[in-house]
Amino acid sequence: MSASPDILKKIRTLKEKIADADYRYYTLADPDIDDFTYDKYLNELSELEKKYPELITPDSPTQRVSGKPTVNFRTVEHNIPMLSLSNSYNFEELIEFDNRVSGLLEKRNYEYICELKFDGIAISLIYSNGMLVTGATRGDGFKGDDVTQNLKTIRSIPLSVNSGKIKNFEVRGEVFICKDDFIKINEEQELKGEKIFANARNTAAGTLKLKNTDLVASRPLNFFSYYFYSSEVDLKSHEEGLAILKDLKFPVNGRTEKAKNIEEVKKFCDKIELLRDDLEYEIDGVVVKVNLLSQQEILGSVSRSPRWAVAYKFKAKEAVTKVNKIFCQVGRIGTITPVADLQPVFLAGSTISRATLHNFDEIKRKDIREGDYVKIEKGGDVIPKVLEVITEKRKKDSKPYKVPDNCPVCRTRLEKPEDEVYYYCPNYNCPAQVLGRIEHFVHRNAMDIEGLGTSIIEIFNQKGFLNNYSDIYDLYKHKKEITDTERFGEKSTDNILKAVELSKEKPFDKVLFALGIRHIGERTSKILAKNFGSIDNLIAAGEEEITKIHEIGPKIAESVVKFFKDKKNLKNIERLRKAGLKFETEKKSGNEKINENINNKIFVLTGTLEKYKREEAQRIIEDRGGRVSSSVSKKTDYVLAGSEAGSKLEKAKAFGVKILEENDFEKLIKQ
């Protein structure tokens, strides 16, 4: 059945609306439609394409995520080599660069463009007839990996552009992960009992090489463009190229500046280094480029670096300390993670006494030993990381670290799956795993049971009150014993039992997340809860049915099915159900109205709120059509500030963002 002109027009209109919504949301951070309307457009387009499959094009928004895993990545040859930049580490070297430029240009007038040096992955995007056809990594500068399908999942990268006369062109830029997003990824990894990533750059690089685009799409990858080339345009300057990128709706970083001389370059570098910690993304310096392309051509390149550009690298945040001991932690699913106990050292605003060593392969690769002096840094300014061993300070009787044979907690012999780098304790009843599952269950992002911290869980476990998380809802039976325990009294016991009762009001997606199913984070829990509606429907579903859901891949589906096949897990679920926990999604009455004061508005929460928990305030905002961001920008509409509000409040004042106290917030949500 051929499509009528009306159908063709409808599909074209839907594509344009979705592309414009993506641009406004992901590039401008200024959405003009809500999630419901966006999903409506996408579903409508998907249904039409199912009916008329011959009309599916590579630039359709429905093609951003492909369910077919990539077997391998083919090699792509770059039309123009992606040269690496030479580095300068101080202003003397920057002045030397300027002197070389001045000499080669024979004292012609010239100016620079100063850009941020993002700590991400350089990529090339090739557009043919205005449509994205190839996306590749930098590789060795001459050849890179074709990661087109994975790059298509980044919604700030246009799949096609209305480029007028410009049909064929290349765009280059950087793929990166924002600081707050990286922290959230690692928090979720920890809650799922999986590996903690070392830094945002490696995580972005690893994500681009994943073979499952569903998993890639679930990661918050971002993109900034900084280079444009087309044989169809006679560009005069790098600045003109950036202007074209903006016109074509590519994201261009707003902190790019022009400098008339090297003194202005130095001022820019100083200014950015001071701002570095406040930026939403990681940078490690400034890129300085001669602006005029004709002058770039005169300057040429040497080896694999252009003479017309240089990277000014900021001072690394590093320190040297001693590894006192290497010990192993056991996660809630049995993952063994080696950790370095360090001689305390102050670095980037805090005292570091421990650093994760990730896995035993990492220890072997870097040859880290007990007693070694090591250079450490704060990966992503958050996670302490061992960079390298200072071997000249190593003692002569030092011995390589030996991988333990047994679990450090229960002494069960460790196992290592062939396709993984991690060792595992297979004992489900290992005390560390038992405590880990309970800690995950009561975590503030899960059931949020205040008062049940690690030390109290350990006490209750030793006394036999808590052997798994379903025992939490029988704690009331032990009220007298708890009250009589040292450190406890009637009031503190009542507070814990009250928090346990309050947790029964948590929605189904929170309960699902609290169960601790491997690979299931907060977002995945929401997706599963929304699509299946109840725990019974999810238990009855097979892997094939689960993988049909957008953003859910085979690994997640396999984990869900495996979890619900375990009788111990089903028994715990029945106990939780009898205790009164919610195992189905609450049905909306249909009478709820979007609050126009909040709908499509961006909120940032800071400080301690008196009347609301942070999570509760976020849910109130999201239920009314708003969005909560973790950082303040010019696009932020409101900052809800509690007591002891910090730098976010100061930043909001600087940007002129409206600041709400709790009373203002209550008035806003009631209007």
**Is residue 432 within 8 Å of residue 409, measured between CB atoms?**
yes
Token digits of residue 593:
């109205």
Nearest to 443 by CA among 525, 381, 549, 341: 525
**Is residue 292 within 8 Å of residue 308, measured between CB atoms?**
no
Token digits of residue 444:
């503030």
| CB neighbours of residue 540 within 10 Å | 11
46-58: burial string, b at 16+ Cβ within 10 Å, e else = bebbeebeebeee
Nearest to 135 by CA among 80, 232, 208: 208
Nearest to 171 by CA among 117, 244, 235: 244
Task: State the burial class of residue 91 (Cβ atoms within 10 Å of its Cβ: 0-12, 13-18, 19+).
Answer: middle
**Is residue 59 within 8 Å of residue 49, measured between CB atoms?**
no
CA dihedral for 514, 518, 523, 524, sign (positive or negative) = negative
Task: Decide: helix, strand or coil at residue 362.
Answer: helix
Nearest to 161 by CA among 31, 12, 19, 13: 19
522 alpha carbon, distance to own chain's centre? 13
- Rounded to whole angstroms, the Cα distance separating 431 from 160 reads 54
- Rounded to whole angstroms, the Cα distance separating 344 from 388 reads 17
**Is residue 369 within 8 Å of residue 351, measured between CB atoms?**
no
- Rounded to whole angstroms, the Cα distance separating 249 from 246 reads 5
- Rounded to whole angstroms, the Cα distance separating 440 from 588 reads 29
CA dihedral for 213, 281, 86, 171, sign (positive or negative) = positive
**Is residue 250 within 8 Å of residue 158, measured between CB atoms?**
yes
The beta-strand segments (E) located in 479-637 are 602-606, 627-629
Q: How many angstroms separate the Cα of 6 from the Cα of each of 19, 39, 562?
A: 20, 22, 47
- Rounded to whole angstroms, the Cα distance separating 494 from 498 reads 6
Token digits of residue 152:
């298509």
> What backbone torsions phi and psi does residue 635 show, to the nearest 5 degrees?
-85, -10
Catalytic residues: 117
**Is residue 214 within 8 Å of residue 208, measured between CB atoms?**
no
CA dihedral for 575, 580, 582, 586, sign (positive or negative) = positive
Task: Decide: helix, strand or coil at residue 66.
Answer: coil
